[in-house]
């Protein structure tokens, strides 16, 4: 079964406690949420963490994953793992990486080995590690797309959360991205974009040029479990939440049709 979630970075502009945001999301068609680094800043406050845990239980929302920087995972390992356990994070996503690493073959290999080491440590706590692409990973390095080389270097040691909109903005076919990571991408950022405009790296799904229906079908066929909505550049978070809810409800139906083999 394919489920839908919203990356809460989309609604950060609401500037309200996470438990209030969770209540908002619970009134939509989304099945879950994806957390991000700022939440783990707030979880240092025990009261905030407790209220978040209670809100997750009360809303019946599932935490599909969490975006947490690689430096933080390494430097604050015990604390973040404890927070993962409290709020029910079983998949943590490295949301980006130093772009300079993807400018050389050696840098790509070192990055893959670093993530693999962290993945090993997290595995002991029943947490899977995924990597989320931006745009810089799709430059050509030594005659080959950097991200393709990165996937080979990963060699199944960690997984991926492909962002189809960001890949498309970099000029890479989002369907090829989904096929490249097939079987190793339990989460997919099903995003949209407008080419040639840096201010439109993300737009609400349906406002850009990405073939979202094709991406949904391809992701479902590849075994994706969660389709994640994000518009990190929205200036109207409530409108993006409402529109995303309706759009992703349709995407879920499409994905279920593919999964059922119809």
Which domains, ranges and CATH numbers included, belong to the chain? Answer: 3-259 (3.20.20.150)
| Mean local confidence (pLDDT), 219-232 | 97
pLDDT for 260 equals 66
* Residue 258 banded pLDDT, cuts 50, 70, 90: confident
Six token digits for residue 165: 């909109």
What distance in Å separates the CA atoms of residue 237 and residue 21, rounded to the nearest whole number? Answer: 11
pLDDT at 261: 61
Is pLDDT at 174 greater than 50 in this prediction? yes
Tokens of 183: 């079987």
Task: Identify whether the C-beta of residue 84 lies closer than 8 Å to the C-beta of residue 123.
Answer: no
* Tens-place pLDDT, residues 35-80: 999 999 999 999 999 999 999 999 999 999 999 999 999 999 999 9
End-to-end CA distance of the chain: 14
Q: What confidence tens digit (pLDDT) does each residue in 177-195 have?
A: 999 999 999 999 999 999 9
Collapsed DSSP state (helix, strand, coil) of residue 157:
coil
Angle at 28 between CA 231 and CA 260, to 5 degrees: 90
Confidence bin at 259 (pLDDT 50/70/90)? low
- Look over the chain and give the mean of its residue pLDDT values, rounded to a whole number: 96
């Amino acid at each position: 079964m394919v489920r839908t979630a919203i990356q809460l970075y989309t609604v950060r502009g609401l500037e309200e406690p996470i438990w209030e945001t969770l209540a908002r999301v619970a009134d939509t068609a989304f099945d879950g949420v994806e957390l991000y680094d700022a939440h783990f800043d707030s979880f240092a406050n025990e009261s905030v963490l407790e209220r978040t845990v209670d809100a997750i239980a009360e809303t019946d929302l599932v935490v599909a994953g969490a975006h947490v920087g690689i430096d933080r995972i390494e430097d604050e390992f015990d604390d973040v793992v404890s927070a993962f356990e409290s709020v029910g994070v079983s998949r943590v996503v490295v949301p980006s990486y130093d772009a300079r690493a993807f400018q050389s073959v050696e840098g790509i290999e070192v990055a893959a080995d670093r993530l693999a080491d962290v993945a090993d440590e997290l595995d002991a706590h029943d947490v899977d590690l995924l990597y989320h692409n931006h745009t810089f990973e799709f430059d050509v390095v030594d005659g080959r797309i950097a991200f393709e080389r990165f996937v080979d270097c990963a060699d199944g040691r960690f997984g991926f959360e492909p962002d189809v909109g960001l890949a498309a903005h970099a000029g890479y076919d989002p369907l090829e991205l989904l096929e490249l990571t097939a079987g190793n991408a339990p989460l997919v950022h099903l995003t949209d974009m407008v080419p040639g405009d840096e201010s439109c790296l993300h737009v609400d799904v349906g406002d850009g040029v990405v073939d979202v229906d094709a991406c949904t079908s391809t992701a479902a066929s590849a075994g994706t479990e969660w389709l994640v909505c994000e518009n990190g550049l929205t200036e109207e978070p409530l409108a993006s939440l409402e529109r995303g809810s309706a759009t992703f409800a349709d995407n879920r139906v499409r994905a279920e049709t593919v999964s059922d083999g119809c």
